[in-house]
Amino acid sequence: MNVFKTFKFIICTRHLNAYKPTGAVRYCTRALLNSCEATSNNLHFRNMDYNARVAVCQFTAKNDKEQNFMVCKHLIERASEDGAKMVFLPEACDYIGESKEEIVNLSEPLDGPLICRYRELAKAQKVWLSLGGIHEKANNGKVHNSHVLINEMGELVAVYRKLHLFDVEIPEKQVCIKESDFVEKGREIVRPVPTPAGKLGLAICYDMRFAELSVALRRLGAEVLTYPSAFTFATGAVHWEVLLRSRAIENQCYVIAAAQYGSHNKKRTSWGHAMVIDPSGNVVAQCSEGTGFVMANIDLSLIEDIRKSMPVDKQKRLDIYPELLPLAPVAPGTGSYQEQYQFGQVSIPETHIFYKTDSTMAFVNKRCVVPGHVLVAPLRPALRLQDLTPSEVADLFLVVQRVQQVMEQMHGCSSTTIAVQDGPDAGRTINHLHVHILPRKQKDFLNNDDIYHELQKHDKDETKPWRGLEEMGSEASVLRERFQ
């Protein structure tokens, strides 16, 4: 039985309605091949330099994992035949359960049989796969809602765990929906991933309502924002397209949104309308009804043109309002790390750093005033706090905040001394701005302010030995696990 319905060919406008329809591709719509640009009062046309061909899917998942996989397998194979370099599947492409218990019981770890089958399929078809939402088994009796990327070699290259969970309680209407009852929320933004379709920013469904995430992904270099979804039918008609087009326009990115469609069970129906939106906010491809996919070409040169013609990112008034900064750590062992980091007149081995962002590092201390005494510093060799840019200041203290929380948990305390010796006259001996984080316990000093006297002299007392490199590396290794 053919699971596909042929979609209607949808002609969408961009700029001044200068598209020329090229005809429908089998089971899909094709992104249109020409565009025009307005220059003064004249029009000139250009051919688009396409970079990648993608397929964006929709179908109706049930609680039968095998049936769902076979539908997705057929979609992927047909999309590959039509020349797709990357195939996007919706949220909950593995299954949609009928109860919380079933959702948890059907879940698998990322090394489970289902992901292995998708990895084999990607390798066999030589396509990248975006598995828009897999129920990943967690360790606490819950699941992660995980967006998984697999490359054409069958390698798992990225996992994003949904940050925003839908929880709402309205007692007077007897409404209580808590996704957090069975889904463990994600803890960090995943850096955009280079793919054949450009640098992909990963998100899932409800995330589209939080513009802050898309802005953060754009700042990290995203060219394409992805929102695989199982969007409710009730809100889909009024919110779905509006939200997706808004994210495309404000970030000048492509938006790709694979979608669940139709009735999954007696309690749940999804809106569908999987679509691709260009950086100007035009819907260039959209599924109609049923199971199938649409094809679109991602033109990265269009992103560059639009950002040049309307440079909103360069015209933000960061002197009036703060810049939105993602707290997106670089995982240890990635190419973004290096063997040594300069810290004033000394260097810090990579093995002593336990947390790092694009502009800040956190590392263990060579001589501690109290147990858990660690340091946070900008990567750039800034001497004073006033030397940092607003974005560097924000990132520095976001890292301080997170490190403080972890150190208090590890050392069983609820107070911390946070100190900045901003210059040599303030007691600093290292010519590099840094923040001291010192977990505190009751009566750890006879007089509470004695800690400042110790801090001023702790690295000048030659009678006390320095900590060994191995000891410091072991501490950093333990701390690093707390930030995964």
The two structure tokens encoding residue 321: 């309002």
Residue 160 — φ and ψ, nearest 5°? -110, 130
Residue 434 is among the residues annotated as catalytic for this protein: yes
Assess contact for 297 and 48: CB atoms under 8 A. yes
- Cα end-to-end distance, the chain, whole Å: 45
Give me the count of residues in the chain.
484
Q: Does 421 belong to an annotated binding site?
A: yes
* Residue 291 near residue 261 (C-beta atoms within 8 A): yes
Residue 122, by phi and psi: left (phi above 0), alpha (psi -120 to 50) or beta? alpha
Classify residue 331 by its DSSP letter. P
**Cα angle for residues 315, 284, 237 (degrees, 5° grid):** 90
Is 315 annotated in a binding site? The answer is: no
Of 135, 144, 352, 434, the active-site residue reads: 434
CA pair distance 245, 299, nearest whole angstrom: 17
For residues 120 and 318, what is the distance between their CA atoms, to the nearest angstrom?
47
Comparing CA positions, the residue from 433, 439, 345, 341 lying closest to residue 393 is 433
- Give the span between the Cα atoms of 213 and 208, in whole angstroms: 8
Judge whether 282 is annotated as a binding position: no
Q: From the CA atom positions of the chain, what is the Rg in Å?
A: 26
Residue 166: CA count within 13 A, CB half-sphere: 13
Q: With CA atoms as reference, report the closest residue to 378 among 404, 348, 418.
A: 348
**Which structure tokens are listed for 84?**
């797709």
CA torsion 72-138-168-217 (nearest 10°) is: -70
Structure tokens that stand for 152 in this block: 């054409």
- Contact assessment for residue 205 and residue 229, using Cβ atoms and an 8 Å cutoff: yes
**Catalytic residue numbers?**
434
Binding-site residue ranges:
365, 421, 436
Binding-site residue ranges for substrate:
365, 421, 436
